[in-house]
Amino acid sequence: MPTSQSAIFRLGLRAHEHLEFDLRPQATADAIRAACATLANGLGVQALVVGFSDRLWRLLAPGDQVPAHLAALAPIRGSAGLMPVHQHDLWLWLQDSGPDLNLDGARRAIATLEPVLQLVEDTQGYVYRDGRDLTGFVDGTENPAPDEAAAVAIVADGPGVGGSFALVQRWRHDLRHFEVLPVVEQERTFGRTKPDSMELPDLPANSHVARVVVKTADGELKIWRRSVPWGNATANGLQFVAFSADPQRFVRMLERMFGASPDHAQDRLLDFSRPETGALYFVPSTEALALLAT
């Protein structure tokens, strides 16, 4: 079976940088493939994930590597308003022990891709304390165990086998608004206790946990989350990154958050944080990526 990009599951690196590019109108498929040869070498960082939009992957890849559900992220409108979408063509996620190392890799990527792809988003993130969001709550508690993550995140068979779908969103927090709440209300917003991330026994229906934990007749819809905070003291939030073998899981969760599901309930977290970017990418197997580069 083809091998997934290992950096999807690489834990422990505290510095992160996310680059998103748009395809230049004059770029040819051959020129893009030549530029991708550099990406296959890892850019000199400890971990690198490479993801493609549906239109770019269809342009570059053979038909047996195009998954059936490959499509751009669609906007969602519900009782909480409109979820923004800014679908770009190439996403690079650099991970290393420090931001200086990611910076060197990012500059190499930008210089190499400049003739065919224009940089439009550059977001630097970091691990905060013991893996918490800037709100103070533990992030990723609902993740599957690491030894079960591949079964959740990786396409098991058919076109695109060994690849994964990635949802990438930059959320901006309103921490001043959130932090004036008593801790008990903060916990009811998330649906978990703040010190130890235990699910509340009387889970509010509009809490974040209640909205994103989706249960069906076949069981809970799981995704593999790899989010980190971004920003400084005056502007900050969460760079949300999640992987799934089926992109429809993301759609179900986002519809429930934004009040576009049948009950029209919305996630209370949206009172304190909102996405300002959003895109869906296909992250091909290492073999498919290497073949593309050659």
The DSSP code for 263 is: T
Exposed / middle / buried, residue 287 (Cβ in 10 Å: 0-12, 13-18, 19+)? middle
Measured in degrees and rounded to the nearest 5, phi and psi for residue 121 equal -140, 135
Q: Is the pLDDT of residue 1 over 90?
A: no
Task: Report the chain's C-alpha Rg in angstroms.
Answer: 19
Q: Is the pLDDT of residue 213 over 90?
A: yes
If phi > 0 it is left, if psi is from -120 to 50 it is alpha, else beta; for residue 139 that is: beta
Q: Is the pLDDT of residue 209 over 90?
A: yes
Distance CA 37, CA 91 (A): 15
Element housing 237 (H / E)? strand 236-244
Q: Is the pLDDT of residue 292 over 90?
A: no
Tell me the CA distances in angstroms from 190 to 102, 171, 177, 223, one per residue in order.
32, 15, 15, 18
pTM reported for the whole predicted model: 0.97
Handedness of CA 39, 92, 144, 152 (dihedral sign): negative
pLDDT in tens, 14-31: 999 999 999 999 999 999
Overall average pLDDT of the 4-10 stretch: 98
Angle at 214 between CA 81 and CA 12, to 5 degrees: 95
Tell me the CA distances in angstroms from 284 to 62, 65, 100, 101, 159, one per residue in order.
12, 8, 27, 24, 10
Helix (H, G, I), strand (E, B) or coil at 95: strand
Angle at 212 between CA 210 and CA 215, to 5 degrees: 80
pLDDT above 70 as % of the chain: 100
pLDDT in tens, 79-91: 999 999 999 999 9
Residues catalogued as catalytic = 139
